[in-house]
Amino acid sequence: MSEYVVDESTIFETPLLELDLDIESDADVYAKAEWFNLYDAPHGGGSIKSRIAKGMLDGAEERGDLDPGVTVIEPTSGNTGSEVARLANARGYDVEIVMPDNAAGGKIDAVRDAGAEIHFVDANLGYDAVIERCEEIIAEDPDAYYRPNQYENPDNPGTHERTTAREIYEATDGEVTHFVAGVGTGGTITGTGRGLTDLTDGAAEIVASSRTSSSTPSTASNTSSRATTTTLTRTTSRSSTGRSTLRPRTRTTERGRSASAT
Ligand SMILES: Cc1ncc(COP(=O)(O)O)c(C=O)c1O
């Protein structure tokens, strides 16, 4: 393990960087520099997943779901693993991460460096096998584990709704017109989309750009895949929770790369 000490105060409030794009448009285009989350962490620093690792662990602790002595476990092929491992380990929990065995070396090093035990799963079996292996481990001793579960945890989109959306709205003085994000779990686009839609009263257009592939992670990076661009538009009615409802319009085009890891 490295000497790195996790400083959660470096999570959130990342800068917007103006991009100098060679495009015919009057639009000002910005990128949100998510690598400023845990920017001094080894193996490439943190990422947008630092946000949800914090959000999911904070939520679990506040609800009393995360007893001291419990082991935090998460299946992940990418950045969520290192961020859950870093934060949970720093909070005193044991951590186990279930990963496909073709995960990028830097991500494996980051998880290992954070003090987590890694369970590797043959990537040729597909990502479902990673999730199934995690479920098997938990089933052996359910009381010993807490799984944040980024795919189903409302604190994933909820964190983006509370933080990412507000940060973008404030940094653009409320003049944001479009928000574009890639999709893994969908937490970023759903939560930030929901927040920006509410903050701009529906004026901001929310655009999800996802790359999909039916192949396993091991081959996905080398095969062509389809990119789906989904525009989420707010319906006129509001849901029973008072939140705006986002309705997707989807168009799919051929692209050359694969889905990003989560
Ligand atoms: C660095 C990074 N950015 C964005 C995403 C997509 O985020 P989300 O899972 O919220 O859709 C992922 C995961 O897929 C990721 O690892």
pLDDT tens-digit series, residues 131-181: 999 999 999 999 999 999 999 999 999 999 999 999 999 999 999 999 999
Using the predicted structure, report yes or no on whether residue 42 has a pLDDT greater than 80. Answer: yes
Task: Please spell the DSSP secondary structure of 4-66, one letter per residue.
Answer: ----GGGSS-PPEEE-----S-----EEE-GGGTTTT-TTT---HHHHHHHHHHHHHHHHT-S
Residue that the structure tokens 């709205």 belong to: 169
Q: What is the pLDDT of residues 6-41, one digit of tens each?
A: 999 999 999 999 999 988 989 999 999 999 999 999
Using the predicted structure, report yes or no on whether residue 241 has a pLDDT greater than 80. Answer: no
CA distance 148 to 54: 11
148 lines ligand 1 (CB under 6 A): no
Q: What is the mean pLDDT of residues 211-223?
A: 34
Decide if 107 is catalytic.
Answer: no
Q: What is the mean pLDDT of residues 243-247?
A: 36
210 lines ligand 1 (CB under 6 A): no
Higher pLDDT pick, 248 / 167: 167
- The reported pLDDT for the residue numbered 243 is 38
52 CA closest ligand 1 atom index:
10
- The reported pLDDT for the residue numbered 261 is 52
Cα 259 to ligand 1 centroid, rounded to whole Å: 10
CB 78 within 8 A of CB 72: no
Angle between helices 105-113 and 79-90 (to 10 degrees): 10
- The reported pLDDT for the residue numbered 211 is 59
Cα 184 to ligand 1 centroid, rounded to whole Å: 5
Q: What is the mean pLDDT of residues 70-74?
A: 98
Tokens describing residue 195: 């927040």
- The reported pLDDT for the residue numbered 262 is 77
184 lines ligand 1 (CB under 6 A): yes
Using the predicted structure, report yes or no on whether residue 219 has a pLDDT greater than 90. Answer: no
CB 16 within 8 A of CB 152: no
pLDDT band, very low/low/confident/very high, at 192 (cuts 50, 70, 90): very high
Using the predicted structure, report yes or no on whether residue 251 has a pLDDT greater than 70. Answer: no
- The reported pLDDT for the residue numbered 210 is 65
Determine which residue's CA is closest to atom 14 belonging to ligand 1.
184
Tokens describing residue 167: 């940060």
CA distance 92 to 68: 8
- Burial bucket for residue 155 (CB in 10 Å: 0-12, 13-18, 19+): buried
- The reported pLDDT for the residue numbered 248 is 38
Using the predicted structure, report yes or no on whether residue 222 has a pLDDT greater than 60. Answer: no
- Rounded to two decimals, the pTM is 0.83
- Burial bucket for residue 179 (CB in 10 Å: 0-12, 13-18, 19+): buried
- The reported pLDDT for the residue numbered 2 is 80
260 lines ligand 1 (CB under 6 A): yes
Question: Average pLDDT of the chain?
Answer: 85
186 CA closest ligand 1 atom index:
11
pLDDT band, very low/low/confident/very high, at 129 (cuts 50, 70, 90): very high
> What proportion of the chain, given as a percentage, has pLDDT over 90?
76
- The reported pLDDT for the residue numbered 239 is 37
208 lines ligand 1 (CB under 6 A): no
Domains of the chain (ranges plus CATH)? 48-146 (3.40.50.1100), 154-255 (no CATH)
List 244's β-bridge partners, or say none.
238
- The reported pLDDT for the residue numbered 215 is 30
Q: Which of 160, 164, 183, 258 to mutate to test the pocket of ligand 1 (most atoms within 8 A of CB)?
A: 183
Q: What is the mean pLDDT of residues 210-220?
A: 38
- The reported pLDDT for the residue numbered 214 is 37
